[in-house]
C-alpha cells in the first residue's frame, strides 16, 4: 500500500484534474453563449438593413434574446 503522503498527493492531483475539467466546461459553455448572442445580433442587423421599416420581427428577436438571457423578465421593464 502506498505511503499516506503519496495518497494525499494523488488525491490532490485528482481534485486538481476535476477542477480543471469543470473550468474547461464552464469556458466552453460561455463561448457557446457568446457565439449564440453574436449570431442573434447579426441576424437582427440583417433584418434592420433589409427591412428598416418592419420593426415587428426585430422586436420579436430582441424579446427572444431577453428571454434567453433573463428568464425572470427583469430587463426591459
Instruction: Summarize pLDDT for 19-76 with one digit per residue, the tens.
Output: 888 888 888 898 899 899 999 999 999 988 998 888 898 889 888 888 888 888 776 5
Integer CA distances (angstroms), 4 to 9, 14, 67, in order: 9, 15, 52
Supply 30's cell numbers: 460561455
Helices (H), the chain: 4-50, 56-69
How high is the pLDDT of residue 35? Answer: 92
What does the alpha-carbon distance between residue 31 and residue 53 come to, in Å, rounded to a whole number?
33
Amino acid at each position: 500500500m502506498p505511503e499516506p503522503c503519496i495518497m494525499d498527493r494523488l488525491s490532490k492531483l485528482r481534485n486538481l484534474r476535476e477542477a480543471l475539467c469543470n473550468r474547461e466546461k464552464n469556458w466552453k459553455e460561455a463561448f457557446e453563449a457568446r457565439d449564440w448572442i453574436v449570431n442573434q445580433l447579426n441576424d437582427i442587423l440583417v433584418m434592420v438593413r433589409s427591412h428598416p421599416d418592419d420593426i415587428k420581427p426585430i422586436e420579436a428577436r430582441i424579446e427572444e434574446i431577453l428571454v434567453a438571457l433573463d428568464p425572470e423578465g427583469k430587463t426591459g421593464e
